Amino acid sequence: MDGGTELGKVRGLGSARAGTHHWTTQRLTAIANLMLLTWLGVTLATVNLSSADAMTRWLSSPFAAVPLVLLVISVFTHLRLGLTVLIEDYVHDAALKLGSLVLLTFFTFGGMGFALFAIAKLAFAAATGAPSAG
Amino acid sequence: MTAASTETAAARPISPHLTVYKWGPHMLVSILHRATGDVLGTVGALVLTAWLVCAALGGDIYTAFVGHANAWYGQVVLIGLTWSILQHTASGLRHLLLDTGAGYELDSNRLWSWIVAILPALLTAAFWLYIYYGKL
């Protein structure tokens, strides 16, 4: 057996030119999270959101609903990248690793879906004048 | 690692001497970055989603959510998440700076590691004092 892999075997199987995608996306969502979580922290400290009506009033503004939508997307994208590395580092059994990554993917998109639907429901309930939930 | 490679490794000098090191604050902020990130990615994401979904489900359910959040155990979770966010953010900013190639000099690395280890706890205290008393 020779030291390298034959060209015929590796052609088309090399870099997909996506080697830095994980790294750059993690940094990009980190910067987005920094801005959006600062906004959410200031909001939670200054706006009274202790009732469902208050939540509906708050999210009726696009300047609340849209940043919150972006926050959910950015946060879930970032946590998926981070927890992927956690699983790759600590789960060594191949089947368990694959299962964990699948579960993480479901968790990511499931959580994102529920959170985005909830924001949309609150935002549009106010916008259309429909009675707020409850 | 296979049995054969373990035997070979035992007979050789082991580099880079993984068990011989001097503890430093950069190790603390490194493991805190991972630990807080894991907590935020699981507990934090669940709390965020539960907050929004409970609000969308309506008055009684959201009232129950706010009740749990205001109970002592809810406050413990929220204060813990606040510190986790600030700790992860601080060491995240440190990483963004290190990514540029700056901050690797031993003295400045040590100094900023200590700042990153301590400042988030102070900011967490400031945030919650503001929440409880309306002023710092």
pLDDT in tens, A35-56: 999 999 999 999 999 999 999 9
**Residue A115 to residue B85, Cβ atoms within 8 A:** no
Q: What percent of chain A has pLDDT over 70?
A: 87
Nearest to A75 by CA among B44, B98, B133, B59: B44
- Which pair of structure tokens corresponds to residue B31? 């493991």
Residue B10 has pLDDT above 70, yes or no: no
Instruction: List own/partner pairs for B46-52 with CB under 8 A and 24 or more apart.
Output: B46/A111, B47/B77, B47/B78, B47/B81, B48/A72, B48/A75, B48/A115, B49/A111, B49/A114, B49/A115, B49/A118, B52/A68, B52/A72, B52/A114, B52/A115, B52/A118, B52/A119, B52/A122
Span A72-82, mean pLDDT? 97
What pLDDT, on a 0 to 100 scale, did the predictor assign at position A134? Answer: 45
Span B2-26, mean pLDDT? 68
pTM, entire model: 0.85
Q: Of A5 and A114, which is predicted with more confidence?
A: A114
Residues of chain B contacting residue A86, judged by C-beta atoms under 8 Å apart: 34, 37-38
**Residue A83 to residue B85, Cβ atoms within 8 A:** no
